[in-house]
A = this chain, B = another copy of it.
């Protein structure tokens, strides 16, 4: 194809770089966008333009919002004494959807990783420690992934905070709706070890 379709090709190329999309699905998505120009393409372009200008990381917790301090950090309805530590903004959003936690968050921005040489200062761990100093925090909930890197990170933070606040982690066990037959051995072991009297 020559110059005049170059924009469409570039659009497909860029879309193909999104996580979850490849060249084929990017082509399908772009054709869909062009067909639904008024309903999809133009509104999407406008929204992206707006978000590119307004989106920012909360200076306190690392959540993504449109203000220097995010809605959750400024809300008067959220408990100030509890901080839930998550790896990523996506994890924070998942917690918010479940609607179970009424405190505030701290987004690490990843996990410690010797392989990728990610140390404590590459994450928002110093900021977490200084929040414990300055805010009136009673409990830190370490809601990181049950992966090796996630658990390493949890141990490191626990070491740093030991004796200064109450430290908890999410319970491990059988997911709601989960069938035993489909669970891995580690989950079954964890659920068995933490079994409760009915």
Among residues 21 to 48 in chain A, which have CB atoms less than 8 Å away from a CB atom of chain B? 21, 25, 27-34, 37, 40-48
Q: Which residues of B contact A65 (CB under 8 A)?
A: 1, 4-5, 8
Query: Contact: A7 with B66, CB < 8 Å?
Result: yes
Query: Contact: B25 with A19, CB < 8 Å?
Result: yes
Q: CB of A148 within 8 A of chain B?
A: no
Which chain B residue has the least Cβ–Cβ distance from A72? Answer: B1
Q: CB of A176 within 8 A of chain B?
A: no
Q: Which residues of B contact A25 (CB under 8 A)?
A: 19-20
Q: CB of A64 within 8 A of chain B?
A: yes
Contact with B along A43-70 (1 / 0, CB 8 A): 1111111111011000000001111001
Shortest distance from the beta carbon of A100 to any chain B beta carbon, whole Å: 16
Interchain CA distance A105-B44 in the complex, whole Å: 31
Interchain CA distance A18-B34 in the complex, whole Å: 11
Query: Contact: B4 with A47, CB < 8 Å?
Result: no
Q: CB of A155 within 8 A of chain B?
A: no
Which chain B residue has the least Cβ–Cβ distance from A36? Answer: B17
